[in-house]
A and B are shown apart, each in its own frame.
Chain A
Amino acid sequence: MVITARTTRRIRILIALIIGLVMSAPLLYMLAGSLMSNSQLSIQPPQVIPSSLHFGNYPAAFSGMTQVIQVRSFVNSVVFTAGAVGLQWALCISGGLVIAKMHFRSRGLITVLFAISLFIPLLTTLIPTFVVTYKLGLINTYPGLILPIAAQTGFGSLLFRQYIKQLPEELFDAARLDGANWWLMLRRLVIPLARPATAAYLAISVLTAWNMYLWPLVAAEGGSLQVLTQTLATVGSSAQGEVTPQNVIFASVVIVTLPMILVFLAVQPAFIRGLAGSGVE
């Protein structure tokens, strides 16, 4: 039997496709389920492709008896993500410039501090971070939700440092000859030139913030500051799950996840560069 190179190639493509479908199966199941009626969902064997489409699950997730998603939670998620990422970006790109290009004594120490903080995720310092936020009177406020997350500047500062360090020194010398100070160099030189690093940074941190669950859970105990991950958690834990129909729950998960899937598909190359870049060297 002769297996040609062409056939092996086709087999490889086929295997890659099949395994890819397996890997994304839970997502496809969620998408298909969000378009089915509840009787379609409970049929055995399970339907892979819905026999008829029920788009009504989507409006049902927003209103009426089956409402899962409050507009307020959507707004909260957007404010939280934009606030935390925007603020953190500003802190990180200026911090990155400082530890990449400026000469001063404690530079090494600061860089090491950032590096160490990578191994102390918020989760392990949840208790004292909550205490600090609580004592500042910020629990159940937007600042309390946003500031402790924006303060996790270790990863971002190091990412920008890596990128800014490789910008040619001559650019900065030239700007200095033109009389620019560091603030102007940050605004006119670094921010425009570091756009690829910003893209990678945004890709990773927007996903992280939007998907964050634990901090909003403890920082917004009241409810009016609830974000979307909490909304999902409420319908996902068993007690509530029986009340809301499965198809509406699936539609809600799609509504919450779809923005991030679109973001991810749009920035996939930047995302991959950002991650892969952190490993190279």
Chain B
Amino acid sequence: MSVTQLSDPVLANLSAPVAVARPRKRRRDGRWAAVLIFPNLAMFTIFIVVPVLGGLYLSFTTWDITNGFPRWVGLANYRQMFHDPLVWQASETTLKFIGMGMLPTVILSLWLAMLINFKFRGISVVRSLYLIPAAMSFAASAVVWRYIFLDGPGYGVLDYVISKFGVTPPDWLASTTWALPALDMIAIWLSLPIATILYLAALQRIPDSVIEASTLDGAGPLRRVRYIIWPGVRYMTPLVAIVSLLSFTNGSFDLVNILTKGDPINSTQTLIYYIYFESFGLGMWGYAAALSILQVAIVAGILVVLRGVSSLVNRW
């Protein structure tokens, strides 16, 4: 099953409702429909359609929004983008951030969902332990994790735990190597609950008897996962991937802005953060608009790749 079909039952069903819901005498609700959907569409147009089209236009201009009108510069912004080493670096950082985050999220969430997919007294309390982080904002998490990551002897909790295993902990947020993975850890932690809920919903549709039967047949845990669990839940994987993708894209700004400001040496500067800096920081609104188009292209590119991967995975 493809990404779009799954994520969007709407697209898949588009032709269906017309055929199914046809009344005996064909009814036309045009006027009432217009009245009832007008406020919705008006807002949607002003704050989504206009910005999307306007953003495209702005990307061909140079403009300081506080004065005058946008000046048409053709492809200049895109040319500048192509020669801007920071754009290349920020795109790479964005891809790394998303890549390093999504795979563990998908795998771990399936594992967690399996862990809490059985019934005993108190299961709802145990499940809550897994799901509660979903209530926390990226901003609040950033604050707490800043203290978890604290460097130096006798400070951060994480460093204490790691050094117990005889490993020298890295300088998390101050290290060009570790800052991005550290931000990823926070984003993974925050993305897991929703991904787990989705997989849990899929798991609960596999009848207990099927799983029990496979146990009685002597199937080991690995074979059980491969032949019973995975075929039952893989249809959910594209949705899990998409939801995590959006969570990683959205969350990256909050984490970077609060914890690292793109440092050390731009190693955590994601594209979103660079866009924010160029516009609100430097007043380069046309350039920032062009960068936003690049951002949309990157997300679209990832969706296309996911689509390919998911069709491969579903055959497996």
Interface residues of A (CB under 8 A from B): 9, 12-13, 15-17, 19-21, 23-24, 26-27, 29-30, 33, 42, 44-46, 90-92, 94-95, 97-105, 107-108, 110-115, 117-121, 123-134, 147-148, 150-154, 157-158, 161-162, 165, 169, 181-183, 186, 207, 210-214, 217-218, 229-230, 232-233, 235-238, 241, 246, 249-250, 253, 256-257, 260-261, 263-265, 268, 271-272, 275-276, 278-281
Contacts and interface: CB of A to CB of B under 8 A. Distances in A.
A159 to B, nearest CB: 10
Given A29-B157, A110-B37, 5 more contacts: A98-B37, A114-B44, A132-B51, A154-B48, A279-B239
B140 interface: yes
B26 to A, nearest CB: 7
A165 B128 CA distance: 32
Interface residues of B, number: 104
A120 B275 contact: no
Contact of B254 (A119, A151, A158, A213): A213
Given A108-B14, A253-B144, A92 B139 contact: no
A115 B9 CA distance: 9
Q: Which applies to chain A's interface (DSSP): helix, strand, loop or mixed?
A: helix
Given A19-B115, A165-B17, A281-B9, A229 B48 contact: no
B141 A26 contact: yes
Task: Kindly name the residue among B33, B279, B303 whose own CB sees the greatest number of chain A CB atoms within 10 A.
Answer: B33
Interface in B231-280: 236, 239, 246, 249-250, 253-254, 257-259, 261, 272, 275-276, 279-280
A42 B303 CA distance: 45
Interface of B: 6-12, 14, 17-18, 21, 23, 26-30, 32-37, 39-41, 43-44, 46-52, 54-55, 58, 65, 112, 115-116, 118, 120, 126-148, 154-155, 157, 160, 189, 192, 194, 197-198, 200-202, 236, 239, 246, 249-250, 253-254, 257-259, 261, 272, 275-276, 279-280, 285, 288-289, 292, 295-296, 299-300, 303
3 tightest Cβ-Cβ pairs between the two chains A and B = A211-B137, A276-B201, A20-B129
Contact of A272 (B39, B52, B201): B201
Given A46-B160, A162-B9, A117 B48 contact: yes
A121 B249 contact: yes
20 contacts: A16-B116, A23-B189, A26-B145, A29-B144, A29-B148, A33-B147, A100-B17, A104-B30, A104-B33, A112-B10, A112-B11, A114-B10, A125-B51, A129-B47, A151-B47, A162-B10, A232-B137, A232-B143, A265-B132, A268-B128
A279 B8 CA distance: 8
B136 to A, nearest CB: 5
A152 B239 CA distance: 20
A250 B126 CA distance: 24
B28 A104 contact: yes
Given A15-B115, A103-B29, A249 B143 contact: yes
Given A103-B27, A132-B54, A211-B136, A236 B40 contact: no
A12 B118 contact: yes
A128 B140 contact: no
A279 B236 contact: yes
B36 A98 contact: yes
A127 B120 contact: no
Contacts of A26: 133, 141, 144-145, 148, 189
A203 to B, nearest CB: 10
A217 B137 CA distance: 14
A128 B52 CA distance: 7
Nearest to B21: A169
